[in-house]
Amino acid sequence: SGFGVLDLGFAFNGYNVLEAYDHWRPAFDNHNKNKSLLKATAYQRSLALSDNEIALESLPKADVVLGGPPCQGFSLAGRRNENDERNKLVDSYVDFISLIKPKILFFENVNGFTIGFKKMGKRGEPYSDNVSKKLEDLGYKVHFDIVDFSEFGIPQRRKRFILVGVLEGKPEAFFEKIVEAKVGFLKSKGLKENITLGEAISDLESKHGKVN
């Protein structure tokens, strides 16, 4: 679950967040700081089912599963290491989906997730395609895209791989709806596309007042 940002986004839109998992203590602590908003049970433990850290019979029955497996091994801004142990948690996410079988799944990672690692001078299959195939084998219709969050009021060129899977309906509908709702959303927040960092934090200038 990381710091719980995906959870908060869904909670603010009427979803009841049941449980959250993360192995990293700071993420776990931050999730609990938002307890009044999320009302979810957070667990500091690995989601790798092979670790036997999760009692399978205790898994929640959920309509939606959100996941953002660690991105460091895939990031073009980092060392980009195919053998990064954290990459295996992508498979753990798929295993988790196979056990819960939610109606909808939401998966997020970095842009580099769509680019295969080079082996012997040739580029291998992107993890994005591999995950899509595994989810389709579980009966899901899937669709993914690269979403540029700077187009949604974020003061940063932040491109993210977003995959949506559904048992019924069209996964493409998610991406169509966020584009349709974009103008109204930005207007309601007093934002515009491609906002600069200066514009985003301009209210912090002392001319707007000071607090002791």
Catalytic residues: 71
DSSP 194: T
Q: Quote the CA–CA distance of 33 and 192 in Å, as a whole number.
A: 30
Q: Are 186 and 152 spatial neighbours (Cβ–Cβ below 8 Å)? A: yes
Q: Return phi, psi of residue 134, to 5°.
A: -65, -40
Helix/strand/coil for 3: coil
> What DSSP designation does 12 have?
T
| DSSP secondary structure of 161-174 | EEEEEESSS-THHH
Strands (E), the chain: 19-22, 41-44, 64-67, 104-110, 118-119, 122-123, 141-148, 159-166
